[in-house]
Structure 1
Amino acid sequence: MSVSVAAVQQRAPVSAPAFVRLLARLGDVGAPSAGPALSERLGQWIDWNRAIALSRALDAVPTPGSFPTQAEGEAAACARVRASLRTAIMRTDKLEKLTGEDFAPFRRHCVDLQRSLLASTGPLRGRLRDALATGSPEQARLAEVDAVMEMTLSPREHALLATTPTLLGQYFERLKRANADAPDDAWLPTFRRDLQDVLLAELDVRFHPIEALLAALRTSHVSGTP
């Protein structure tokens, strides 16, 4: 007897951010066991020379610069990029042409969109850092710290995000097997929606540091700092 789509999707809740919860459910992964504290994990990820760079960024006393006044312009640019990426993820014309015969076309679709997310969000983050670097000493320090953190954590982030297509592929195969008797790939619309949800969650993850930098840039603008 075949298993329903709902049965394949149902998993024990995972206490984690939305993106991780989605991947855990679709990848048929149980809730992760309690791991080491964040500070301990960072200590394992950061090698000694990058730890020195981070320490220097935290301890530095930057010289004051001119305060940025382009906060709203940068906010508008970020909003445009995010809306464009969301539109690309939500487009159904390409997805609806893909059948349930093989996951490979879905993998290419997912990887292409992930590359677009990376290519679009990276420059935004850099632009916001450049703007902060011309602001107050605190903002300049934040920009330097963010640059070091991105250099340190990006390789690990990229490696983890690269597993997304693999987990989606496993989910695809489970749905296909569980609904082998269903007519006309009735399970496929569910898979397409879940694929979009995962990519939307990844979009949110990639915008977290951008939103934090933008909030810091807006601080001086809103407060009317000269």
Structure 2
Amino acid sequence: MAKASTRAPVLGPAFIRLLARFSAADLPRTPPVLTERLAQWFDWNRAITLSRALDNRLPGAEAGAGFDDAQDAECARLRQALLDTIEADIDLSAPRRKDASAAGIDPGYLPYRQHCLAAQRAMQATTGLLRGRLRDMLALQSPTKARLAEVDAVMEATLSPREQALLAVVPGLLGLHYQRLRDAGAPNTNDPTGADTPDDTSAAPATGPWLARFRQDMRIALLAELDVRFHPIDGLLAALRTR
């Protein structure tokens, strides 16, 4: 019988809890205070820029295309396209090109890693462009909203590099999760009948309930990442819809 986990539950958003479950590392029971963590991420140049965005005279609204129902529908379409990318069938054939970054990775996990990386690239490209476009539209509505757009631009420039670095570890954590589930689902190597059983658990066939669980976990992880990437976009949309 498998031992019950003795690790303390991790507090925080669903995405963080999910990644903590994939990781074998012990994480702190209490998450760090947000203000303390932000203080580590903001250098003095960024802090001054943010202060100016908050304290300077309200910028004037500029001329340009405004936000309307068509723009709202386009945002929904782009999000659905990203959902379709995550839900798409995974190509299980061997990669055609050699990838130096994939050296040492379980061959059975490579197709899933490629799917994860492709979904992340699509999310990063789409949400980056969409956030900038919505920010430009927000600046057209009123001086107050123009200030909000300016603050969002500073926050994106400051936090996005850190966010991308953290999200880049997701494929690796999923790879560890794949290996643990595969090893747990591999045939028993201590066969009492004395039959020859491969010592290398990577020889275990990539099939069975463990694989179905992994595919579902990867899907949930990518959907949670999509929600995280859309948090600032959802905030901009809420501001744009408020008149």
Shorter-chain TM range is 0.7 to 0.9
- Residue 131 of structure 1 aligns with which residue? 137
Describe the superposition over 1:17-56 as per-residue Cα deviations: whole angstroms up to 9, x where unpaired. 1111111112234453335421121111111111111110
Amino acid at match of 1:216: A
From the superposition, tell whether residues 86 and 63 of structure 1 become closer, same or farther in structure 2 (CA, over 3 Å). same
For 1:1-226, list aligned pairs within 5 A: 12-65=8-61, 69-91=66-88, 93-94=89-90, 102-181=108-187, 185-186=207-208, 187-220=210-243
Q: Contact between 1:64 and 1:136, CA under 8 Å: does it hold in 2? A: yes
Unaligned runs of 5+ in 2: 95-105, 189-203
TM-score, reference length from structure 1: 0.85
The 8 Å contact of residues 9 and 25 in structure 1, kept in 2 or not, is answered as no
Measured on the aligned residues, the alpha-carbon RMSD in Å equals 2.6
Q: SS of the residue aligned with 1:125?
A: helix
Structure 1: unaligned runs, 5 residues or longer? 221-226
Asked whether the equivalents of residues 71 and 214 of structure 1 are also in contact (C-alpha less than 8 Å), the reply is: no
Quote how far apart the aligned CAs of 1:128 are: 0.7
Please say if residues 58 and 141 of structure 1, whose CA atoms lie closer than 8 Å, have aligned partners that are also in contact. Answer: yes
State the TM-score, normalizing by the size of structure 2: 0.79
Cα pair distance change 1:22/1:8, threshold 3 Å: farther
* Greater percentage in helix: 1
Report how many aligned residue pairs link the two structures.
Answer: 214
Larger C-alpha radius of gyration, 1 or 2?
2
Q: Percent identity?
A: 53
The question of whether the paired residues in 1 share the 8 Å contact of 2:23 and 2:176 is answered with yes
The structural deviation recorded for 1:74 is 2.4
Which consecutive segments of 4 or more residues in structure 1 shift more than 4 A? 7-12, 66-69, 95-98
- In structure 2, the partner of 1:224 is none
Q: Which has the higher contact order (CA 8 A, sep 6+)?
A: 1
